[in-house]
Structure 1
Amino acid sequence: MNREELKEKYGKKRIPHEWRKTDWFTILVVTFFGSGMSPKAPGTMGSLAAAIAAYPLAILAKSEPFGQTDFLFPSHSFHWGIFINLFFITAALIVFFAAIPFVKKAMKDTGTEDPGWIVIDEVCGIFMALAFIPSEFIVAHPWILAVAFGLFRFFDILKPLGIHKMEKLPGAWGVMADDLLGGIYAGLVLVIGLVAPAVFLM
């Protein structure tokens, strides 16, 4: 192993500087307020920042004027179904579509393709993972954020079940879509993990 390879493998990792080629507001958005600037595991740091931000958002979702933002699909009258958290699913979709032009601009300005410091896609995925959990449960049991974080990172890193194919969508759409799908899978696994023991014990 030569000197350059040793330096690459064991040297101190530094924050890439290509982001300087675009404007500060775009960077603020795509790095989720700088969380993606971590020289190590920026995707993990972005996901962690999103999970932390989700707690006060869950508190906000319980307050007026949001009030009732959870409902049981397909109907309240049934004793089974999947909870849909309208607040978080709306937040995930807003982040998804609002981030597209910023991600596109960041990649064009810096001449990169899905660089590690773009982590707004991880934010979208974390919010989508929480879109299947009632806000009251998140507030009462904040540990659920850690579980959602872990499940999302699993799907985001390994990209099973068609997630990898979403990356092949053109440009910014591919950057965002795989994390959105990963968040859906993480949320469904989270729901099954919470509901299955309760059903078994009934």
Structure 2
Amino acid sequence: MEQTPNEVRTEQPTLSFFTKFIGSGFFSGYAKFATGTVGSAVGLLFFLIPNFHQPYVIIPSTLTLLALGVHAADKMEKKFGQDPSIVTVDEIVGMWLSVWFVPFTYINIGIAFLIFRVLDVLKPYPAQLFDRKTGGWNIMIDDIIAAVYTNLIVQISLYWL
């Protein structure tokens, strides 16, 4: 059956397993509640992998997941609507970026986690500007901004304490 000009297509895009896996932050976005916190916590689990905190591991891992995440988040947003809670890859990227070059201790990682969660919820300027826009990049950027602020707070705190 042909579509007439006045008909609107309502088909939802089909998502691949890979898109769901990456976009939902390794399926953390399917949690029943607090998906952002669950996604950030999944990001923490990677620090159990030996040497994950080393710059030669965490930097390319973060950048790779960012690139894949922008694409997956964009596709998932088209299916589920603007900045859907199921998309948590941004939380993992943000968590990892929060601890770039932070001296590795589980206490430092835990403090960064708490600060990142608070800033991710509060959306300090200019994060809130991107939070209102659509697209995979905008889903990711507000968490990147919160992560940069987190990293600066942790680095400055460690320097002065």
Aligned length: 150
Aligned AA for 2:93?
A: C
Q: Secondary structure at the match of 2:141?
A: helix
* Larger Rg belongs to: 1
**Is residue 2:81 matched to residue 1:106?**
no
Checking the alignment, whether the CA contact within 8 Å between 1:166 and 1:174 is kept in structure 2 is: yes
Aligned partners of 2:128, 2:77: CA distance in 1, in Å?
A: 20
Could you tell me which of 16, 22, 38 is aligned with 1:29?
A: 22
1:188 to 144, 152, 159: 152
Unaligned runs of 5+ in 1: 1-18, 63-68, 70-84, 198-202
Tell me which of 119, 124, 134 is aligned to 2:88.
Answer: 119
Structure 1: 4+ residue segments shifted above 6 A: none
Deviations 1:132-191 (A, max 9, x none): 31xxx32xx212221111011011000113111122454111100111111111011011
Q: Specify the SS of the correspondent of 2:87.
A: coil
AA aligned to 1:60 is: N
Q: 1:87 touches 1:131 (CA, 8 Å); kept in 2?
A: no
Distance 1:168 1:41 in 2: 20
Q: What corresponds to 1:60 in structure 2?
A: 51
Give the superposed CA RMSD. 2.2
Tell me the amino acid that sits aligned with residue 104 of structure 1: D
TM-score (norm 1): 0.67
Q: CA 1:169/1:113 → structure 2, altered by over 3 Å: closer, same or farther?
A: closer
Distance 1:115 1:96 in 2: 17
Identical columns (%): 25
Residue 45 of structure 1 and its aligned partner are, at CA, apart by 0.2
Aligned-partner Cα distance in 1 for 2:13–2:30: 12
Change in Cα spacing, 1:190 to 1:93, as seen in structure 2 (3 Å) is: same
